[in-house]
Amino acid sequence: MPDEWNDWDDWEKGERRVAALPDDALSTEALSRPRAAPQPGQILARGVCRHLLGHGFVTVEEFVPASGLRVDVMALGPKGELWVIECKSSRADFTSDRKWQGYLDYCDRYFWAVDDDFPRELLPEETGVIIADGYDAEIVTMAPEAKLSGARRKVMLQKFARHAALRWHKARDPAITLSS
C-alpha cells in the first residue's frame, strides 16, 4: 500500500480517490436518465468486442495507453497478447486520425475496424482489418505481430487491469466519481 494511503483520516473522509456524491445522485430520476445514442464508431466497437470475446479476448473501450492517446478498443488475449483496434465509421473519420501510428508502441497487433461499405484501399497495408457492425465482426486481414518488450507489456497489463476495474466500479455505481 502506498505510504500516502496510510493516513486513515483522509481515507475515511474519501479524500484520496472518491469525490463526494451529490445529494440526488442515487435518486430514481438520476439513475433512470436516458443515455445518449451510440456514435457509429461505438457501434463498430461493440461488434468488435463481441467477436473478440468469442476468441477468448477481453476488451476495454476508450483506453488511454499514454498521455495524449486514446484507443477505441484495447483487447487482452488468452496468452497475454495486446491488440489495439481503431474503429472508423467513414472516410472523413479515417483521414482525420493523425495519431494512429503512436498506438503501435502499445500493442502486439494493430487493427482498423470498419463497416462493409468502408473504402478499404485507404487503410495502410501494414495493419490488420476487421469488418464489423453492431452485432459481430470478422477479422479479414490479420495484423502483423510486433511483440511488446516485457517492461512495456507489464505496464500495459497493469493499466488495462486498473482501467477495467474502474469501469466496473462506475457501472456498478453510476453516481460515483472516480479518479484514474
pLDDT of residue 179: 67
Beta-ladder partners of 113: 87, 130
pLDDT of residue 67: 93
pLDDT of residue 6: 40
- pLDDT tens, residue order, the chain (180 aa): 344 434 334 434 444 333 344 444 444 554 566 778 888 889 999 999 999 999 999 999 999 999 999 999 999 999 999 999 999 999 999 999 888 999 999 999 999 999 999 999 999 999 999 999 999 999 999 999 999 999 999 999 999 999 999 999 988 998 888 765
Report the distance separating Cα 112 and Cα 100, nearest Å. Answer: 10
Cα angle value 74/75/78 (rounded, 5°): 155
Q: Any residues with CB less than 8 A from the CB of 154 and at least 6 apart, and which?
A: none
Output DSSP code: residue 108. S
Beta-ladder partners of 76: 58, 82
pLDDT of residue 176: 82
pTM of the model: 0.78
pLDDT of residue 4: 40
